[in-house]
């Protein structure tokens, strides 16, 4: 099979995608600088798949590193995950987010052209829709002004890719994720936040296992049925499988245009408080939580119309929410027993 480069391959979604690529028979090379991930993730991948990807430690924003990688390994397709990803962090450090997220993409595109790699799958986000006026959002919903610098980097990167596709032989797909949760069913890989978790599910699991005294719920006075924000939660393995479908689509030349966009979600909106109740059923006990102030940059409510991805990618997010939460809890329990202490 053709060789696929996965940037940010030791990260949460990247590692699960590598598993699906390897199991589908692809040859994979991964690059990561471990700024928000750990090298031991590849051990979990190897246990699941019986083999590990080729691994490069390096920064995608470094042209020398990327040229050497392409020269040595010759990937023909790239799945680009490497980016800073926290809304709160981007509000506090906007220049760092613009420098990292935009520069790494620009560098990658230049090196891809130099080495004639012409297939790109880009890790985008539903955050590009901003606070959508009509729900669920489709791929034709307006891309609104971003509510955070992180969201703006995703919008800018999509525009850069679209313009590059128009001027070159590059074929690209942008996958707009909704909210990935859970872990691999083996509990060998999963989400691994550093410091105080910024995403809801690892905050819940760390609270349930005792690493955090209580969960923080950011606001209960939004214009939603129970006052908390509403999101579309999707199991990370389902999300990973969509990347394999996107790669196969461009390899097989069955795309409708040289640049395509797909929403990746379950198509169901759940509030933060609803998800807490679902998780309490999984763990069989109440979860302590506290309502705190709203978080700057958060969107009130959003969920996907995933019908285009269902139809064109032959893909569906069909893992039940309780199964996804159960895998997150099993990963947290395993991590407490086996992960290096300095990784928590």
β-strands 77-80, 3-7: how paired?
A: parallel
> d(Cα 240, Cα 271) in Å, to the nearest integer?
24
Which burial class, exposed, middle or buried, applies to 310 when counting CB atoms under 10 A from its CB (0-12, 13-18, 19+)?
Answer: middle
Which two structure tokens, joined as six digits, stand for 275?
Answer: 């998800």
Q: What is each CA distance from 184 to 259, 271, 294, in whole angstroms?
A: 30, 24, 31
Catalytic residue among 12, 26, 42, 150, which? 150
Q: At what angle do helices 12-23 and 236-251 cross, to 10 degrees?
A: 60
Nearest in space to 55 (alpha carbons), one of 116, 6, 3? 6
> d(Cα 57, Cα 206) in Å, to the nearest integer?
29
Q: Residue for token digits 């680009």?
A: 80
Bridge partners for 171 per DSSP: 119
Give phi and psi for 260, each to the nearest 5.
Answer: -125, 155
Residues with Cβ < 8 Å from 28, sequence gap 6 or more?
3, 4, 5, 6, 9, 18, 21, 22, 53, 54
Which burial class, exposed, middle or buried, applies to 324 when counting CB atoms under 10 A from its CB (0-12, 13-18, 19+)?
Answer: buried
Which two structure tokens, joined as six digits, stand for 218?
Answer: 């950011």
Q: Does the active-site annotation cover 98? A: no
Three-state DSSP class for residue 42: helix
**Of all helices (H) and strands (E), which one includes residue 78?**
strand 77-80
Which two structure tokens, joined as six digits, stand for 63?
Answer: 């042209």
Residues with Cβ < 8 Å from 202, sequence gap 6 or more?
191, 193, 328, 332
Kindly list the catalytic residues: 150
């Amino acid at each position: 099979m053709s060789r696929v480069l996965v940037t940010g391959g030791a990260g949460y979604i990247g590692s699960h995608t590598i598993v699906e690529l390897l199991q589908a028979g692809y040859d994979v090379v991964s690059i990561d600088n471990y700024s928000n991930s750990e090298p031991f993730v590849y051990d979990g991948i190897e246990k699941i798949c019986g083999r590990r990807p080729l691994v490069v430690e390096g920064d995608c924003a470094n042209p020398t590193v990327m040229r050497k990688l392409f020269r040595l390994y010759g990937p023909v397709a790239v799945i680009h995950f490497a980016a800073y990803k926290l809304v709160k962090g981007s509000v506090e450090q906007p220049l760092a987010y613009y420098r990292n997220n935009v520069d790494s993409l620009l560098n990658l595109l230049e090196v891809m052209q130099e080495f004639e790699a012409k297939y790109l799958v880009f890790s985008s986000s539903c955050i590009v829709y901003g606070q959508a006026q009509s729900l669920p959002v489709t791929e034709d919903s307006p891309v609104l002004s971003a509510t955070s610098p992180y969201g703006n980097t995703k919008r800018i990167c999509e525009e850069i890719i679209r313009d590059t596709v128009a001027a070159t032989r590059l074929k690209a797909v942008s996958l707009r994720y909704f909210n990935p949760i859970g872990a691999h069913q083996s509990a060998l890989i999963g989400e691994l936040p550093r410091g105080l978790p910024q995403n809801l599910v690892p905050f819940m699991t760390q609270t349930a296992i005792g690493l955090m005294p209580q969960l923080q719920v950011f606001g209960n006075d939004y214009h939603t049925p129970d006052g908390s924000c509403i999101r579309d939660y999707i199991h990370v393995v389902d999300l990973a499988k969509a990347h394999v479908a996107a790669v196969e689509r461009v390899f097989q030349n069955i795309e409708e245009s040289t640049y395509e966009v797909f929403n990746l979600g379950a198509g169901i909106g759940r509030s933060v408080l609803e998800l807490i109740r679902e998780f309490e059923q999984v763990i069989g006990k109440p979860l302590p939580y506290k309502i705190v102030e709203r978080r700057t940059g958060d969107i009130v409510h959003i969920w996907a119309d995933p019908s285009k991805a269902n139809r064109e990618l032959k893909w569906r997010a069909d893992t039940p929410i309780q199964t996804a939460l159960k895998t997150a809890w099993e990963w947290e329990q395993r991590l407490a027993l086996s992960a290096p202490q300095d990784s928590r």
